[in-house]
Structure 1
Amino acid sequence: MTEPEPFLWTWQDATIGWSRSQSQGSTDLAVLLIHGFGANTGHWRFNQPVLAEQATTYAIDLLGFGRSDQPRARLKDEPNTAGSVHYSFDLWGQQVADFCREVIQQPVLLVGNSIGGVVALQAAQMLKQKSEPSLCQGLVLIDCAQRLMDDKQLATQPAWMAWIRPLLKTLVRQRWLSTALFRNAARPGVIRQVLKQAYPSGMNVDDDLVQLLYEPTRRPGAAEAFRGFINLFDDVLAPDLMADLDLPVNLIWGQDDPWEPIAEAQRWKETIACIHSIDVIESAGHCPHDEKPKIVNNILLKLVCNT
């Protein structure tokens, strides 16, 4: 197995980081890996080379993360100043859809972790709207973000949340506060502590992982995507994007995910027609692809073969 090749792509006047592990196989299907919040292409370190044994496998840095540009965040009601962007699932979904059209240019299986799962769903819908349903052949959602802080999820939250929500929204829109919160969180020691929550077994929480997550936070604009994301109180939800989706969706879920309840994922499987299966990874948390990569890779390889 060889290390993925790094590349840069120009998209909407921004520089986007991506990588590719070329396959020697004969399959016409490609795989695109989409990371979660705060991560980057390196988070697929144990998956991308293995999947490339079966299919050419790409990974992409969403705008604001990894090696991609980190433009200034613009909230919905703020002026559209030069160089600013509204970080949203529409933005990231368009980025992924355009990458599939312009760079991959062949049928693709979209694989997303956490918010990357929602991005994958949004991209699939955008490809469908452009009369290109054949370009996306299916999706794998790994501990897909349920976005419990979205306004549309308020009924599922404790009653006191409705009382503090206006104050919370006022506070997190303040750039000085969001930047301070980000800088406090973007420290190696804090990153390691968060990883220990996300990886309950403790497997693969190593110095390399801490470093690959820490390094992009040192860039000048790193706090901007954080500000944009924590202000997304009214954006798309995964079940809504899957409601009329006519592509196969498979779920992979860490049994002990501390942030995205597995019970909700199981409810999705029972109620959403496009979901074909759910594979539960025992003793794994929010990122089973990195915590238990051998198990997840075996599942992904089978899905690639059957798509």
Structure 2
Amino acid sequence: MQVSWNCIRRDPASDPSAPAVVLIHGFGANKDHWRHNQPALAEVSTCYAIDLIGFGASSQPRAQLTGEAHHRNHFSYSFDSWASQVADFCREVVKAPVVLVGNSIGGVIALRTAQLISQRCSGVVLINCAQRTMDDKRLHEQPVVMRWLRPSLKALVRQHWLSRSLFRNAANPRVIKQVLKQAYPSGSNVDESLMNLLQKPAQRPNAAEAFRGFINLFDDHLAPTLMTNLKVPVDLIWGEDDPWEPLQEAQRWASRLACIRSLEIIAGAGHCPHDESPEQVNPLLLRAVEKAKNI
């Protein structure tokens, strides 16, 4: 499968001991979502931004759902599969110690990748990491009616006609603008460039497949479980006004998980503070790279 990425090489005068940085986008985004971060990080480290399979300019194979007949050209849109993609990228392309930075589901992928590459990982930064409240393992937290409806919901979203219809609606420019109003509460950096980077990949022929795979992901990795025995330090960066991933949950993680080194809160920012408030987030990312040099 084809994997697309951007790479900005470190300044020749920068510290050669700095690890490389690999940036992992969230659901529906792509490598260009790091437009305001990658150049700043490249001042101190070689910085890569990767398109996950199903997004951006990477391959968009048909979704392989659990229980369906296996097909070698299909892809299981799961955290293990995406993490394996990133781990292979680190081994085959980066070929150096890395700091993994992930936003939203990219955070869960970063944590799983850190497990897979072990000593090659010098640190992880989670930016508004996905909490996955609808996972089966968290079903007991949901209202009784949701628990009762879950089997019917699972059967329904497996249908191609429904996933395609839902995707067409989600990829509508007016819907994207409404979602961005929620995700970027300050409205900062919600511009034509952002709209284009979200819309263009969604117009590719198989763009709906990653959507179908993801909405059928009911039982997969949870971030706290992945961090329970993680051997590398984790830094949390959180937009205070995230409408989907509450800050309170991140604060609980920070109080209970030994691997978490810091929690930095970005006031006024939402789900994507790296793009909404890069002037606040970039210094924190640079600090994480600096700390990783000593590991």
Q: Please, which moves more after superposition, 179-188 or 108-117?
A: 179-188
Once the two structures are superposed, residues 210-254 of structure 1 have per-residue CA deviations (whole angstroms, 9 ceiling, x without a partner) of: 110000011000000000001000101001111110100000000
Structure 2 residues not aligned, in runs of 5+: none
Distance 2:49 2:213 in 1: 22
- 1:233 maps to what in 2? 218
- 1:213 maps to what in 2? 198
- 1:67 maps to what in 2? 57
Distance 2:284 2:80 in 1: 29
The correspondence of residues 78-117 of structure 1 with structure 2, limited to 5 A, is 78-117=68-107
Higher RCO structure, 1 or 2 (CA under 8 Å, sep 6+)? 2
**Cα shift at 1:170:** 1.1
Distance 1:149 1:64 in 2: 22
- 1:143 maps to what in 2? 128
Aligned-residue identity in percent:
62
Normalization by structure 1: what TM-score?
0.93
The correspondence of residues 1-307 of structure 1 with structure 2, limited to 5 A, is 14-24=1-11, 25-28=14-17, 29-128=19-118, 133=119, 135-307=120-292
**One-letter code aligned to 1:50:** A
Q: Contact 1:109–1:136 at 8 Å: present in 2 too?
A: yes
Once the two structures are superposed, residues 56-89 of structure 1 have per-residue CA deviations (whole angstroms, 9 ceiling, x without a partner) of: 1000000000000000001011001241111100
**Cα shift at 1:159:** 1.9
Distance 2:194 2:179 in 1: 12
Q: Contact 1:37–1:114 at 8 Å: present in 2 too?
A: yes
**Cα shift at 1:157:** 1.5
Structure 1 residues not aligned, in runs of 5+: 1-13
**Cα shift at 1:168:** 1.0
- 1:8 maps to what in 2? none
**Cα shift at 1:184:** 1.0
Distance 2:125 2:243 in 1: 20
**Cα shift at 1:258:** 0.2
Distance 1:293 1:162 in 2: 39
Distance 2:228 2:153 in 1: 30
Normalization by structure 2: what TM-score?
0.97
SS at match of 1:33: strand
**Cα shift at 1:174:** 0.4
Q: Structure 1 runs of 4+ off > 4 angstroms?
A: none
**Cα shift at 1:189:** 1.5
Q: Contact 1:117–1:142 at 8 Å: present in 2 too?
A: yes
